Amino acid sequence: MASVTLRRNLCHLSEFWIHGAALKNQPINHVCKIVKEHLCSWFCSQKPELFRVTVHHACYKMFHSQNGNDLQPVGEPVYAQVRHWERLEQSLKNEDEQIFNRKLNSFTSSEEVLSFLSALETLPDTMAAGALRRICELETKDAQRLPKEILENSLFKALCFQFEKKPAPLSNTSLVTALQSLILLHVDSQSTLLQNLVAECQNRLQRGSLEVHHLCTLGESLIRLQGPDCVTLELILCQLQDEKLETFTSEDIVALYRILQACAEKVDQHQTFLNKINNFSLSMVSNLSATSISQILAALVALDQTQALPLVIKLGRQVVGLIAHFTNEELGRVLEAFMYFGHNDRLFTKALEQHVTALCLTLDPEVVSRVMEYCGRKLILSKPIFNAVAEMFVCQSEKFSPPQVSKLIEPFGKLNYLPPNASALFRKLENMLFTHFSYFPPKTLLKLLHSCSLIERHPVNFMAKIFSPFFLQQLQGEELYLDRLSLARLTQLYLTSILECPFYKGTKLLSKFQVKSFLTPCCSLETPMDFHLYKQVMFGLIDLLGARLYFASKVLTPYCYTIDVEIKLDEEGFVLPSTVDEDVYKRVALCIDGPKRFCPNSNHLLGKEAIKQRHLQLIGYEVVQIPYHEVEMLKSRLELVEYLQRKLFSQRTGVHW
């Protein structure tokens, strides 16, 4: 096994020499003490043998003494417990590498790693690569590039010099690990160091001497260095496809997903291979960490793997038990994937409730807005989540960006829910709009204000601005026409200003920006009738009223709303034929509300249905709600007729038909 002789390299490289200044300020006695304690038990278990420490150069003694360590005289016998490790290179075992790696992982800064290495005389290549990897992990958390003091550190230069000059003797693991670490540390891609390592990797790749793990690591490294279009990457993927998936570890599978994600535009070329990976991954889900799960889900989204729903569902179940272990960014990826694939699970919702309520004040605003967006998309009315988020927004509203504010508030309107602190919530929102109105993108602002109107928090102070020609021009942008949904929202807001805010005397919405109907196939502000439920009610009404001509279906009103069933009454309470327009004294609007008009698994109307019923009442209709959950409890047609009679005529003793 090749090894990195740190001090010897330092002696050969005069340009790396800093006369002890860099290391003099970094005490290592405490590090050496801990290292001795960790390794002493293994050394003592070996047969005590005497060996000599050979000083190869005069400058070696100066280097060693400047760090406060006196050299043993040549020829003096010492035991293996001392810090000189030349015999370690020859007798190292796997358990010793594990001890070394555990020690590396305990360090919290690159300086500690380098101080630790300064106590070593020789270092096997796998350990040298491990040290580089640990420096990479520590330095890429907060900074994009390696600090100057690390780059100029003589020990760090010695490590790099060994990899640069002698890459051929390195093991496969050491080679690809060193390349990966140096790329992540943003070492100059044109440097001799990286070019030599890449060339050696390509030689071994062409010889077919790299194993699965090495291929995955090399693939990710080359993507970072040369981009997803590099020719070598195709060769790596070809070799990986020839390998048996049973030989892949869970880490290899996750890395493979990341590689394919980087080549998302070529997904069609690799779809057969992807299908095999998706099926094989089902057996590995239980072994995946929170980080791995979030990365796989992100890759499935980028690769549009809608056919991999069994894998998404199984990953979703695993997420439930690991939700406390996700970082804010990872949880955001999970939520984005669940929204993309339409995944919704009761156990996940419960776990999410516990997570959000426990940590809401410490969660990242982006994650909070994602949680609310997820609830809004899947129509999940979770009062614990909504209440906790409302409380957080009141306390920390300044942390949220305009798009995040919109994602946070919209679900309240969509799901027709007011939290206990609604007054404080919307007062805080109004203050933010007053001070940052111009920072909100036009369409985002329109969605936000429309959501407020759904739950009777009417944005009266901002209506004049959004109905103004200047705002409408901004809303349209460079498009020839405003999109249908934006026009519908504007129209409903304008209708709200007329019906629910009669005191509003500001700018009015021009007729060319108003729609004729809120019920459209692609972007509707109303939910279409449930056809099966409508048929049941229709037959019951025919039995009750005596003929089909006494009621009309899908009636469009002058106020853009479509009524499911309309019944007309004269002044004496007689039911009139639907075609008669004279002598109409009262109009009854039957709202035949199927499951899609309610929050799932509840009897809570959605916001767009609640505002519709309010507005129908304000324009003179008597609204009668026929919810599906009441109709489902009826066991016969006779019960249905009696139910409709109670709903329609129980308070009108003088009604006739």
Instruction: Give the residue among 92, 133, 159, 601 at the shortest CA–CA distance from 344.
Output: 601
Contacts of 449 (CB under 8 A, 6+ apart): 459, 462, 466, 493
- Residue pair 648/626 in contact by the 8 Å Cβ criterion: no
- Residue pair 299/257 in contact by the 8 Å Cβ criterion: yes
CA torsion 347-348-350-353 (nearest 10°) is 180
- Residue pair 619/499 in contact by the 8 Å Cβ criterion: yes
Domain end residue (candidates: 457, 481, 503) = 457
Asked whether residue 349 is assigned to any structural domain, the reply reads: no
| pLDDT for residue 35 | 42
| pLDDT for residue 458 | 95
Q: Is the pLDDT of residue 374 over 50?
A: yes
* Cα separation, 231 vs 115, whole angstroms: 40
In the chain, pLDDT over 70 holds for what percent of residues? 81
Assess whether 471 and 450 both reside in one domain: no
Assess whether 2 and 15 both reside in one domain: yes
Confidence category of residue 304, pLDDT binned at 50, 70, 90: very high
Assess whether 386 and 329 both reside in one domain: no
| pLDDT for residue 615 | 97
Confidence category of residue 93, pLDDT binned at 50, 70, 90: very low
Asked whether residue 184 is assigned to any structural domain, the reply reads: no
| pLDDT for residue 56 | 31
| pLDDT for residue 89 | 43
CA angle 539, 544, 546 (to 5 degrees): 90
Asked whether residue 247 is assigned to any structural domain, the reply reads: yes
Assess whether 268 and 403 both reside in one domain: no
Within 10 Å of residue 168's Cβ, how many Cβ atoms? 11
Assess whether 130 and 160 both reside in one domain: yes
Coil, strand or helix at 598:
strand
Confidence category of residue 19, pLDDT binned at 50, 70, 90: very low
Average pLDDT of 254-280?
A: 93
| pLDDT for residue 91 | 43
DSSP 8-state class, residue 176: H
| Identity of the amino acid at 130 | G
Asked whether residue 583 is assigned to any structural domain, the reply reads: yes
Asked whether residue 179 is assigned to any structural domain, the reply reads: no
Q: Is the pLDDT of residue 546 over 80?
A: yes
Assess whether 102 and 227 both reside in one domain: no
Q: Is the pLDDT of residue 110 over 50?
A: yes
CA angle 242, 244, 246 (to 5 degrees): 160
Assess whether 476 and 424 both reside in one domain: no
Domain end residue (candidates: 411, 438, 457) = 457
Assess whether 140 and 214 both reside in one domain: no
Residues 505-519 pLDDT 10s: 999 999 999 999 999
Assess whether 86 and 140 both reside in one domain: yes
| pLDDT for residue 133 | 76
Scanning 415-530, the segments in alpha helix (DSSP H) are 422-436, 442-454, 460-466, 469-476, 484-499
Assess whether 621 and 503 both reside in one domain: no
Within 10 Å of residue 270's Cβ, how many Cβ atoms? 18
555: domain range?
531-649
| pLDDT for residue 266 | 87
Confidence category of residue 144, pLDDT binned at 50, 70, 90: low
Assess whether 235 and 380 both reside in one domain: no
Residues 313-333 pLDDT 10s: 999 999 999 999 999 999 999
Asked whether residue 543 is assigned to any structural domain, the reply reads: yes
Average pLDDT of 419-441?
A: 95
Residues 572-629 pLDDT 10s: 888 999 999 888 999 999 999 999 999 998 999 999 999 999 999 999 999 999 999 9
| pLDDT for residue 8 | 45
| pLDDT for residue 185 | 76
Asked whether residue 165 is assigned to any structural domain, the reply reads: yes
| pLDDT for residue 412 | 97
Asked whether residue 198 is assigned to any structural domain, the reply reads: no
Assess whether 440 and 479 both reside in one domain: no
CA angle 369, 372, 375 (to 5 degrees): 150
Highest mean predicted confidence (pLDDT) among 70-79, 168-177, 234-243, 620-629? 620-629
Domain total of the chain:
5
Residues 345-368 pLDDT 10s: 899 999 999 999 998 888 999 999
Residues 46-92 pLDDT 10s: 333 322 222 233 333 333 333 333 433 334 443 333 333 344 444 44
Domain end residue (candidates: 118, 138, 170) = 170
Instruction: Give the DSSP H or E segment for 3.
Output: strand 3-4
Average pLDDT, the chain: 82
